[in-house]
Amino acid sequence: MEKAIRVGIVGSGNAAIFHYASYLRATGFPVKVVGVTSLDKAQCKDFAKRRGIQAYDSLSHLLPQVDLIDNCTPGYAHEPVCVAAFKAGKHVVVEKPFTGYYGPSDDEGFGGNRFPKKKMLKEALASSRRIIAAALKSKKKLCYAENWVYAPAVQKEAEILAKSKGQILWALGDQSHSGSPSPAYGIWKLSGGGSIVGKSCHPLTAILYLKQIEGMTHQGKAIRPKTVSARTHEITRNPRFKDKGFLRTTTMTLRTTARCTWSSTTAWWRMFLPLKS
């Protein structure tokens, strides 16, 4: 029998719960979740006990026991966990958002909506490059847990696009939500941007993927955007907004609608993001 891939989960919150459930449904290869570690020790022990796996005190204790690290931490911890795993020679699956900018180290109340976006973009890209560089150096796989690409509807559309040799002239994606089970969600210092980063990546990723399929079908190489731009509206800060208690206002992010239109060379990503602090 083929040797099972040993998985270690970092983080024991909502993402870890559904990632673990997904491993139980994996087919085509043997996989076993052997352990979990988290900064929340009580939650970590409960998570492990409920699933019959080992709770580890730290990432350094977990790493020698696994082949792959599943990074289910809040966004601010994605880079350090990924880099440490690659240095230890492990494959990595990282939850979305891939990474981001979480503010100066000494500013616990950092809010990106009042911070220069050029600096945030520069720092977020630098973080992305550090993770990718660590992966390339280790020669291990870096996998992004962006599930919309693998959704049956998206895969069927990709099949239709390839076989019909069609062309995407207009793509529209909508995503709305009212918060997250994670206590870190909506705190910029921990999650880095709320719904615009943590939710709108879903339809954007699907659209980028389908344009890749279109490009491979017609010209043998993926179509990639020259620019992706965002526009936000903090609707719940409008003086006329009336809080009727239907929206979750304990976090900064409440609802997202995302739109994307395509030309042959440019993707415009327009997002409408209402916030309430």
Residue 255: the pLDDT is 40
Distance (Å, whole) CA 126 – CA 112: 17
Across the chain, mean pLDDT equals 83
Distance (Å, whole) CA 52 – CA 46: 10
Residue 114: the pLDDT is 81
Segment 58-110, tens digit of pLDDT: 999 999 999 999 999 999 999 999 999 999 999 999 998 899 999 998 888 88
Segment 20-49, tens digit of pLDDT: 999 999 988 899 999 999 999 999 999 999
Distance (Å, whole) CA 182 – CA 198: 12
Q: Residue 143 above 90 pLDDT?
A: yes
For 72, residues 6+ apart whose C-beta sits below 8 A from its C-beta are: 9, 10, 11, 12, 13, 15, 16, 19, 95
Least confident of 28-32, 122-126, 175-179: 175-179
Question: Is the entire prediction scored with pTM above 0.95?
Answer: no
Q: Are 241 and 233 contacting, i.e. CB atoms less than 8 angstroms apart? A: no
Q: How many helices (H) and strands (E) does the chain have?
A: 9, 8
